[in-house]
């Protein structure tokens, strides 16, 4: 009498078995939460994109304000003396001044803000008490001013590009597609194949394999976007995608070092599955600045 042990197993199970590559690394976050929040953010961006500058500028202003609040709060918790209210007001002035006045407005508001920071910090403890950690606190305040509102202002001005008879919304879409392509390519390649750290002393999880994935996706999407959305040569898009990926990667590393020095993992828990606003904006901010610069140059806008 035969038993279950003696009964041969059906061959169809082995026939359907696929040897799929296994990820080398953990995703490092709750993917379900990250996807849901990512979809919501994408819908908000699409709505702002469709509305043009009237929708894009408020979105950038809110993102800049939220990112600055996170960074300045973490700095204050670590003992830095930074004038949070002044910096938040200055950041908003920098962003909004570019709508009517462009780069001129940005330079003016940034200069005034830097002067106020440099001189105001001198008398933080009054006229009769010497300032403590003046260089450290002033330098980090101006660093924040450059890192978030200055770069973010260039991102806002992308909506005002209208060369080649193409509306500004398509310039924004080109930028966002390149950013998403860079993130997706880097994430997939990093999780599946990442084994050679780029800068282990700064960010041990960022790998050369992930960078290669970002470059591949960024260049491809940049080429397609420039050709089909902006009606320009594909190689311009390839250059844009490549430079954007480099800036986004370096932006990630800058934030990693910033958090490492403060001894924190995320800027906040505002975005479930992502961390804080700055954990999403870290690479986008320098990428936005270089996108505006390159597209302004090649389009003859600037």
Look at residue 15 in the predicted model and tell me its pLDDT. 47
**Rounded CA Rg of the chain:** 23
Query: Could you tell me the sign of the dihedral formed by the alpha carbons of 170, 174, 176, 180, in that order?
Result: positive
The parts of the chain modelled with pLDDT lower than 50 are 1-2, 13-16
- Write down the pLDDT at residue 265: 85
Q: What is the pLDDT of residue 146?
A: 96
Q: What is the pLDDT of residues 250-264, one digit of tens each?
A: 999 999 999 999 998
- Residues 12-33: tens digit of each pLDDT: 544 445 555 566 555 556 677 7
Whole-prediction pTM value?
A: 0.84
- How many Å apart are CA 174 and CA 299, to the nearest integer? 14
The 3-state DSSP class for residue 269 equals: coil
pLDDT value of position 270: 81
In our burial notation (b when 16+ CB lie closer than 10 A, e otherwise), range 31-60 reads: eeebeebbeeeeeebeebbeeebebbbebb
Give the model's pLDDT for residue 14. 47
Q: What is the pLDDT of residue 19?
A: 57
Distance CA 35, CA 38 (A): 5
């Amino acid at each position: 009498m035969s038993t279950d042990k003696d009964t041969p197993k059906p061959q169809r199970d082995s026939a359907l078995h696929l040897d799929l590559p296994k990820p080398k690394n953990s995703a490092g976050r709750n993917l379900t939460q990250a996807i849901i929040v990512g979809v919501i953010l994408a819908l908000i961006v699409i709505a702002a994109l469709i509305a043009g500058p009237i929708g894009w500028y408020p979105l950038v202003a809110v993102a800049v304000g939220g990112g600055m609040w996170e960074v300045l709060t973490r700095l204050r918790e670590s003992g830095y003396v930074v004038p949070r209210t002044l910096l938040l007001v200055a950041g908003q002035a920098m962003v909004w001044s570019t709508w009517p006045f462009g780069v001129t407005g940005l330079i003016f508001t940034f200069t005034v803000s830097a002067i106020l920071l440099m001189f105001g910090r001198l008398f933080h403890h009054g006229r009769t008490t010497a300032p403590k950690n003046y260089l450290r606190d002033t330098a980090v305040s101006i660093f924040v001013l450059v890192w978030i509102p200055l770069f973010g202002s260039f991102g806002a001005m992308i909506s005002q590009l209208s060369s080649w008879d193409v509306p500004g919304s398509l310039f924004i879409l080109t930028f966002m597609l390149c950013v998403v392509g860079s993130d997706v390519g880097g994430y997939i390649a990093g999780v599946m194949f990442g084994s050679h750290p780029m800068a282990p002393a700064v960010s041990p999880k960022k790998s050369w394999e992930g960078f290669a994935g970002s470059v591949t996706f960024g260049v491809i999407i940049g080429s397609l976007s420039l050709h089909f959305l902006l009606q320009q040569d594909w190689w311009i898009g390839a250059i844009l995608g490549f430079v954007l990926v480099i800036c986004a990667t370096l932006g990630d590393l800058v934030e990693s070092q910033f958090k490492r020095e403060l001894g924190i993992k995320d800027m906040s828990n505002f975005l479930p599955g992502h961390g804080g606003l700055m954990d999403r904006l870290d690479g986008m901010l320098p990428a936005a600045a270089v996108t505006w610069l390159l597209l302004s140059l090649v389009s003859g806008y600037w």
